[in-house]
Amino acid sequence: MISHGTAAYGMYSRNTALPEVVCALNRAGFDNHDICMVLSPAHPDAAVFHDETPDIVAGESSSTTVRKISWFSKFGAVVIPTVGVFIRSQAFFHALLTEQDYPAMSGGSRALVDLGFSPQDAKRLGSLLSDVGALVYVSCQETTRATGAIELLRRTGAHEAASLGAARAAAA
């Protein structure tokens, strides 16, 4: 779990332009290293990792893959269950790569528990992710920043947006 402050998250459908969401977060003062995305392996932004393009177009496909990997590497972390994990931030590294045993959870749900979601919320959100969704997670130093992030995530089309810190506090 990310240890500082709280976090906000938003669940998005496959049709949401995630670069626009990230750009809006950046304009609001959120740094890329505080952003983690968890994408369904079937999400369009994960498609470059499943591309079986013939060799004739491989150069073009290759440059798309390089651009996508370059974009992913700018964030604190990007998790694509069954495909891979891109981690830049030490906080996300410790949260996502700590050996924990969650035998009843799939890869996406397990990553969400690692980020601090309750097992129940992780299963529910993991199920939404499997329907080609994307979760954008923003680590915040203060509750007021999380509140601002929630509003921004809602304005950018999140189907669900909430504060992870508030959910943990309510469960305690």
Q: Are 59 and 67 in contact (CB under 8 A)?
A: no
Least confident of 22-26, 84-88, 153-157: 84-88
Residue 3 above 90 pLDDT? no
CB atoms near residue 141 (< 10 Å): 11
How many angstroms separate the Cα of 48 from the Cα of each of 45, 51, 68, 127?
Answer: 7, 5, 8, 22
pLDDT band at 56 (very low <50, low <70, confident <90, very high): very low
pLDDT, residue 2, reads 56
CB atoms near residue 58 (< 10 Å): 12
Q: Report the pLDDT averaged over residues 54-80.
A: 75
pLDDT digits (tens, 9 = 90+) for 88-112: 888 888 777 765 554 445 556 778 8
Q: Are 146 and 33 in contact (CB under 8 A)?
A: no
Q: Report the pLDDT averaged over residues 9-18.
A: 93
| pTM, 2 dp | 0.83
**Distance separating alpha carbons of residues 113 and 129, to the nearest angstrom:** 14
Q: Report the pLDDT averaged over residues 30-40.
A: 94
Please provide the average confidence, as pLDDT, over all residues in the chain. Answer: 81
pLDDT digits (tens, 9 = 90+) for 120-168: 888 888 888 887 789 999 999 888 999 999 999 999 999 999 998 554 4
pLDDT band at 65 (very low <50, low <70, confident <90, very high): confident
Q: Three-state SS across the chain? A: CCCCCEEEEEEECCCCCHHHHHHHHHHCCCCHHHEEEEECCCCHHHHHHCCCCCHHHHHHHHHHHHHHHHHHCCCCEEEECCCEEEECCHHHHHHHCCCCCCCCCCHHHHHHHHCCCCHHHHHHHHHHHHCCCEEEEEEECCHHHHHHHHHHHHHCCCCEEEEHHHHHHHHC
> Which has the higher per-residue pLDDT, 115 or 156?
156
Of 148, 151, 172, 171, the residue nearest 161 (C-alpha):
151
